[in-house]
Structures are given as C-alpha cells and as structure tokens.
Chain A
C-alpha cells in the first residue's frame, strides 16, 4: 500500500522490519551527531575567520562544547512566560524540531549509482536503499516538510505573548513563504531534466560531472536555489528573524531550557539537511566525481560505501560555505530581502524554467534550436523590459502618492 521502501512492498517479515528500524535509528543518531559537530564546526570556523580561538576547553579542540551546552540547557529551569499560550508554547519547539529530522529521511546517504545502477544494496539477503525512505513524491516531501517548519517559528513567536518574538515570527513566516516560491521554481528545473521526483532517481540521472544538474540546468537554478535555501533556513545574511539589534533574540526570546535547545538543534539540523538536499539535487549526491569515462575511484572500498564518503565530502563543502556566508556577509534590510525574493529570484527562476522547458520541447520535436533560442531570448527580454517598466511606474507612484500600506 504505502511503498516508501522496496522492503515494505510485500508481507512484513522480521528481517526487513529490523533493517528499517536500524535505519531509522542510524538516521536519527547521525542527525544528532551531525548537528552537534556542525555547531562546533561553525563556532570554530567563525572563530578562525574572526581571529579568535573559539571553544577549546571541553574535549580535544573543544569538540564536546555542544554536548556541554546541551547538558547545561537540559538542567536549566523550564520557564513559561505568564502571558504565554501554554499549549501552543509547548508545541512549537517540536513543530520545528520534528520536520528538521523528517526531511533527512529522503536523502540518499550512499549506495552505488554508477553506470545507471539503481543504488540499491543487499543487506542480509534483503534489497534496500541506503536512505530511510524513497517516497514516489521524493523532493516534494522535502518542500512539504519545509512548509510545515514555518509553523514552529510562527507559533513560537505568537504564543510567547510578547512583542519582539511576535515581530520576529511575522518576519520569519513572510520570508519563508515568499522564498518557498523561488525554491520550488528552481527545483522544477532539476525535476524537468531528471524526469522524476524521487531523490534516488535524481541522483542516478547525474553520473558524470556534465550531467550534474548544477551544470546541466545552467547554474542559474542552482544559484537561485542556494539563495532561497539560505533564506528558508533563516541563516545569515537572511537572519532578520533573530536580528539581535532590533528584536532581542527574535522568535525564541522567551524560550529557555530544553525548549530553546530544540529550536537551536532544529536550526542546525536544517542547515545540514539543506546542504544534503543541495548536494542531492545539483551535485550528484553519493555519485563520485566523473569526467567523461574517467572516475575518481577510492580504491579498496566497495562502491556503495564510497558513495557515503563522496556525499559527506560534498556536504562539508556546503556547510563550510554557509559558515563563510555568516562570517562575511552583512544582514539584509527587510525591504531588500523582499525585493530580492520577489523582484529578482522569482522572475529569474520562472524565466529560466520556461527557457529550459522550451529547449526540451524543441529538442523533442526536432525544431531549429538556434531559432527557438533566439525567439525565447527575445520573449525573455520583452518580459524583463515590461517588468522594469512596472517597477519604474510603481516607484513613481510611490514617490507622488506615498505608500499605500
């Protein structure tokens, strides 16, 4: 009935059930560990960039600092603000923590996808995938989950019964809802080329470096996706949600103890998940780097296990990049944020998507590619000019009549 995993199609037996349970456990533990290490990595890397030492007391290189912080938060007093809506206040941290972990379930964490292999591995005589779930809707699941994550932040701010958290959460939800459109549109370009929604299908469509969607979709969707994903994560330079100078601490100002820890955990878990998603969509996931027929193969390792190493390496690049963003880029102003999202990213990704779709249709029907490209560029230019004219008109109206809202 619910064929999320090729194991679960037929009658349930003990071995498949245990394999699935072990996979759930592994994904959960890996998620927690990754989050812990990511917090440490971020603090250490930022300290390095700012010429500080960073955490260095707990464990080697301060690697246990997150654990110590976590234990401290566990033992703090759990406060309910007097004006808080108790039920929603208690619910909100889980609404933001649970989606963060759920989204990780659809990332292919390993397996052999080379030369059109399906990426399935055999464990104790059972054929399965190195990913918790491979639902037919694949990537849409990640989008659905990220739209649920909005609730956590929104309700946290509202239920605190205090001004700054409310402002922070209203900002956050507006930002996340507006950037979700750009995220979805740039994702559509990848789906168009891969021809499937399932994450394992998307990965197996990217066997050589020129097939990686980051190149084959023409880089623009990747850039849009990267910016929109950063905004979706509320990470710098899009962290208006918790702009300390304006909002104290944003939506989680009133939270303390383990509830605060859950938000913190969710934030970093989301960063890890989003990096993994970017790698899966645009950089071939567990596929090794392959140029033409030449494959950078790690010797002595089975191909399925090698995939995990490649995935880790690629994810680390993006995690480092997110930290780099945070250390270098100043925070955007709210109107700049909305302008960037609505006036640049959404039109750009929509236009690019139309361009890719036209190209594909032209190739399928054997039309003259040069003519089609010329016509589509002309149409895009006309659209761009119309949009600019509209912006100019509205800017003129604003200066003569004042803002409407």
Chain B
C-alpha cells in the first residue's frame, strides 16, 4: 500500500516537474508546479506528517502559485515566449555543465550514504502517533517555538524586510521620476 502511494505520488511529482520545464505557456507551467506540490503533500501524508502536508497545500499551492498566476495574468506575459532569442549566449552550455555537476553530486551522495539511508538516523524524532491525532502538530510547535525560536523569528523578520524593501523600491522609482 505504502509502495503504491509512493509510486503514484512520485509519478505526479515527476510529471509536474517535467511539465514546468517543457510546457511553453507560463500558465501551464505554473499548473504543472501545482501538480508537483500536490505530489509532495501526498508523500508527507504517507509519512504521517499530516500538518506539513496541509501547510504545503495551503501555502505553496494555495498562496504562492496563485500569486505566480496572478502576476502572469496581470503583467500579460501569458503569451508563448520565443525561446530562440538568447540574452546570454553562454547560458545554455553553462546550464548543462551545472546540471551535470549537480547530478554527479547527488549520485555521489546517494552512493556514499547508501548504508546510512537504510537505518534511521539518530536526529529524527518520529511523531508518537499513539499520543492522539495532534502529536504531529504539538511536536512541530514545540521545536519551532522553544528550541528554534530565534531562527524562526529571524526568518520572519527577513520576510518582513523583503516586503518592506519591495514596497520601498517600487515607490523610489516613481518619486525620482517626478
């Protein structure tokens, strides 16, 4: 059963990922991204990480990709891009080299860590599902708001800075033109 779910979800993820790259239309690419994110959510559920799955759907599929689509529609870039024009001529060969390098690193890591993957690491603390259905959420909240509270707060501040910066940049352009 678990294997079956994994295969289905993995197929969804791969199909979506390939779709993001292959589809020429930005809206279709964004929709393929949603498929990938859903597949990841299914994998989370299969690993008993229900909260993460819900957040994955709410935040990524529900907010971020909607924002992508929103921008695509508002800016009117929803036309098929001409892929023949090259802004940077060395881009393609460089991209291929980087891809191969990344692939090599991943394969090396998997081959190297083959023995470790089969046994559970010490650091992972699996949610104790006998403790009721909310064990997952409780554990996550405890680690975010006690042990990693500084990192969590700093990340939030970073996000706020990004938002404020964006607003400031867009305003600046207008007032200097005046």
Contact = CB atoms under 8 A, between A and B. Distances in A.
A2 B66 contact: no
Given A140-B54, A173-B66, 18 more contacts: A1-B1, A2-B5, A134-B133, A137-B54, A140-B58, A144-B54, A148-B57, A148-B61, A150-B62, A170-B73, A173-B69, A177-B67, A180-B62, A180-B63, A197-B137, A198-B133, A401-B178, A404-B171
A177 B69 contact: no
A1 B134 contact: no
B174 A404 contact: yes
A3 B61 CA distance: 24
Interface of B: 1-2, 5, 25, 27-28, 31, 34, 45-46, 48, 50-51, 53-55, 57-58, 61-63, 66-67, 69-70, 73-74, 78, 129, 132-134, 136-137, 170-171, 174-175, 178
A196 B133 contact: yes
B46 A2 contact: yes
Central interface residue in A134, A144, A201, by most chain B CB within 10 Å:
A144
A138 B54 CA distance: 9
The secondary structure that dominates the B interface is: helix
A260 interface: no
A85 interface: yes
Contact of A177 (B28, B45, B48, B63): B63
A136 interface: yes
B53 A137 contact: yes
Contacts of B61: 144, 147-148
27 contacts: A3-B133, A87-B28, A135-B50, A136-B137, A140-B54, A143-B54, A144-B58, A144-B61, A147-B57, A147-B63, A148-B61, A150-B62, A154-B69, A154-B73, A155-B31, A155-B69, A158-B27, A166-B73, A169-B73, A173-B70, A177-B67, A180-B62, A195-B134, A196-B134, A201-B134, A401-B178, A404-B171
Contacts of A135: 50
B70 A147 contact: no
Interface in A141-178: 141, 143-144, 147-148, 150-151, 154-155, 158, 166, 169-170, 173-174, 177
Contacts of A196: 132-134
A136 B1 contact: no
A88 interface: yes
Contact of B34 (A151, A174, A198): A151
Contact of A1 (B31, B46, B174): B46
Interface in A79-111: 85, 87-88
A131 to B, nearest CB: 14
Contacts of A201: 133-134
Interface of A: 1-3, 85, 87-88, 134-138, 140-141, 143-144, 147-148, 150-151, 154-155, 158, 166, 169-170, 173-174, 177, 180, 195-198, 201, 401, 404-405
A170 B27 contact: no
Nearest to A181: B63
3 closest A-B pairs by CB: A147-B62, A136-B133, A140-B54
Nearest to A154: B69
A174 B58 CA distance: 15
Given A170-B70, A197-B134, A148 B62 contact: yes
A70 to B, nearest CB: 29
A405 to B, nearest CB: 8
A229 to B, nearest CB: 16
B62 A85 contact: no
Nearest to B78: A158
Nearest to A2: B45
A195 B170 CA distance: 43
Contacts of A169: 73
A25 B64 CA distance: 34
In this complex, the member of A151, A154, A198 whose beta carbon has the largest number of chain B beta carbons within 10 angstroms is A151
A85 B73 CA distance: 14
Nearest to B25: A85
A88 B25 CA distance: 12
A158 B46 contact: no
A11 to B, nearest CB: 11
